[in-house]
Structure 1
């Protein structure tokens, strides 16, 4: 029982120092790993090797994948690729159902681009479509916010699900994770879309536009990027790695559908996440236009490294914390007790939702939950088949519940949409709860057939 108390104190401590004291999650997780190692009475000579091995293995397994994914996202954002994708989708979907169109655009753009960046980029498009369709800006804001959020927490190469996949040792099953993640994210975004449509014709008072911050129209925004890349070239950096990863997954299916010769070996190699994303990065380079392409490319890569570094460190520190938990007596205690409760797939969702709501960061919630969960997969009945992949998706669903004042994304959406804070609590926050629980519902249904 004392070990359970220690675990709860460690988790509460992580939430307190990150949410209240604003200490870096990297230091909080690494500190929890060291404190936990002594509190759980690990042999002194094993503490440093346990922490450094888990830290180093995670950095080696997932480091390049997160880096390449971040680089693709930054280039798409700064080259106008994200705007080009939005334009291409509008041509296909039209503007007859504006909230649906907005949700789908967010759903696709957020696969490589961080959700807060995606919202800022697409904010002008959202306003233009709302004015054209004569619908509520609040409904459009909810649709865009939740569409972006769905794939942000569910579909690699976004860092959150990648980090959780690494901690649960399912990087080799990224093809399955992407496929199921797209389905679960669609259910999640669809439920939030129904919620958004409640506000379609409601007249919600918005904050005035500050005089020094004149609105930028969508057409003016596009002009800032110069000549936009084609829709095909904009989608290629996303679709190419996903296609290669999925082909590799097919190659590994029982019965060897691609045979066991050179073709299978080639597809397996180029479908390795690192190689697949490297091809995606090469495709993204062709989005760069104008003079000084090399200098622009170098700047984007440097900024990507700066952006990815905290995520890599937080992910690896979370793995170190998980490594300590795996060596501690708490694993046996929880295994003996959880196995009799029959909670199964609900455990990762509940833990992730609690951490998300308490400290605000979806990425920290996913990293911490997945680090804690690895030694518990077997007693929860999630260690075989698609169990670990569904656990990642359950964690992703929990990492949306709920976005409120301690979440930077909440402020990005409310401030850029000029939604008063009180109104944001009544609209944006419930929307993330709706989509999180809907996402978990989809995961639970899948678990009935796949575990």
Structure 2
């Protein structure tokens, strides 16, 4: 029981340090790793070795993937590719189902672009569509936000799911994480869409905000600010090609070796490695740079991407350090044996992730911390197969979206740009993320009955 009490204190320390003391999650996780080492009476030298080893091991592979993915996202964001992707979806679906349209747009755009940035970019398009189709701005806002949120928590190369996959030993199985993640994200996006549709024709008063409601004219002005927009093929290629390559790499490396062991297998296996696949994606993203000073643009985008990736890399590395210390203690065996008798399986990582998300606000921190925490327990929980680990990532992702409220920056982006009051935000956006999380873990549990 003492082992569990120490763990509870460590989790409380992370929550208090990041919320009340405003300590950066990197330092909070590093501090928790040190405290864990001493609390579990590890030799002092072993504590340092576990921390440095855990930090380096997770970043040695996943760090490059996170950085390349972030740079690609920045290039897509700055080039207007997100606008092209959105307009392509509108052309395909028409304007008959406005909330479905913006939900799909969010689902696609948030794979390469952070959900906060994606919402800001697409806000004017969403408001223009709401005005044109006479649909409530609140309904459109929640549909867009939940579409963005779904892939943000489940689908690599978004940093949170990548870091969780790395902590759980899935570096070579990212294709499987992507395939399952896209499916679970689709179900949770639909859940958010159904909730948003309740407000489609309700007259919900909006509040004054520093961010004005943008109408069709403002959208056209914003669109023009990007200059000539890239073609759909150029806009989708930098993210869809790497995802396709990673998935193909996973398929050709299946034990059955579906295409044999020849040259084609060697080529696809090489290109399907996430680092190589995202390097290909970065090369394709370079075609989105505007004519003229491409070298300067590229240097600027790379710098912005590295700056955006740096805090995520530090948090991921510190999470790896925390997990490394925990795995060196008897905690994993004790908790695994105890929890396995309770039969809660995948619900345990979900509940931990949901508690961390609700307490400190960051989905990424919740994904990293929970995955580091549960990694030593997978064998005892019966989740140490590749599919078991993938479903654990999905369970953690479901928890990491439960719930978005006032301590989450995304909540404020959605409410402020949509001119919702805080009360309206809680009734619409916060409840939507609660529904998404519960639907997500239910979906994961049902998948586990079939796949495990």
| TM tier relative to shorter chain | over 0.9
How many pairs align? 451
CA shift in 2, pair 1:415/1:80, >3 Å: same
How big is the shift at 1:8?
A: 0.4
Distance 1:201 1:89 in 2: 23
1:199 alignment partner in structure 2: 199
1:59-208 superposed matches below 5 A: 59-208=59-208
Is 1:341 equivalent to 2:356 in the alignment? no
Distance 1:426 1:255 in 2: 50
1:396 alignment partner in structure 2: 397
CA shift in 2, pair 1:439/1:211, >3 Å: closer
Unpaired segments ≥5 residues, structure 1: none
Work out whether residues 14 and 29 of structure 1, in 8 Å CA contact, stay in contact via their aligned partners in 2. Answer: yes
Distance 1:415 1:392 in 2: 31
CA shift in 2, pair 1:329/1:176, >3 Å: same
CA shift in 2, pair 1:278/1:117, >3 Å: same
1:449 alignment partner in structure 2: 450
Distance 2:316 2:282 in 1: 22
CA shift in 2, pair 1:49/1:111, >3 Å: same
State the SS of the aligned residue for 2:380: coil
TM-score by length of 1: 0.98
State the SS of the aligned residue for 2:379: coil
How big is the shift at 1:387?
A: 0.2
Distance 1:214 1:275 in 2: 40
Judge which range, 433-442 or 308-317, deviates more. Answer: 433-442
Deviation per CA, 1:181-207: give whole Å up to 9, x if none: 111000000011110010011000001
1:46-445 superposed matches below 5 A: 46-210=46-210, 217-445=218-446
State the SS of the aligned residue for 1:156: coil
Distance 1:401 1:372 in 2: 18
TM-score by length of 2: 0.98
How big is the shift at 1:290?
A: 2.8
Distance 2:209 2:423 in 1: 18
State the SS of the aligned residue for 2:178: helix
Deviation per CA, 1:294-338: give whole Å up to 9, x if none: 101100100100100000010010110011111112122212211
Deviation per CA, 1:163-218: give whole Å up to 9, x if none: 00000011211111111111100000001111001001100000135599987711
Work out whether residues 333 and 380 of structure 2, in 8 Å CA contact, stay in contact via their aligned partners in 1. Answer: no
How big is the shift at 1:282?
A: 0.4
Judge which range, 320-329 or 121-130, deviates more. Answer: 320-329
Is 1:2 equivalent to 2:8 in the alignment? no
State the SS of the aligned residue for 2:309: helix
CA shift in 2, pair 1:264/1:185, >3 Å: same
1:11 alignment partner in structure 2: 11
Work out whether residues 337 and 381 of structure 2, in 8 Å CA contact, stay in contact via their aligned partners in 1. Answer: no
How big is the shift at 1:385?
A: 4.1
CA shift in 2, pair 1:165/1:421, >3 Å: same
Distance 1:109 1:126 in 2: 13
Unpaired segments ≥5 residues, structure 2: none
Work out whether residues 50 and 320 of structure 1, in 8 Å CA contact, stay in contact via their aligned partners in 2. Answer: yes
How big is the shift at 1:254?
A: 2.5
Work out whether residues 385 and 450 of structure 1, in 8 Å CA contact, stay in contact via their aligned partners in 2. Answer: no
Work out whether residues 235 and 288 of structure 2, in 8 Å CA contact, stay in contact via their aligned partners in 1. Answer: yes
Deviation per CA, 1:48-73: give whole Å up to 9, x if none: 11110110011102011000000110
Distance 2:337 2:85 in 1: 50
Following TM superposition, the consecutive aligned residue runs of length 4 or more in structure 1 with deviations greater than 6 angstroms are 211-216
Distance 2:268 2:149 in 1: 31
Judge which range, 216-225 or 410-419, deviates more. Answer: 216-225
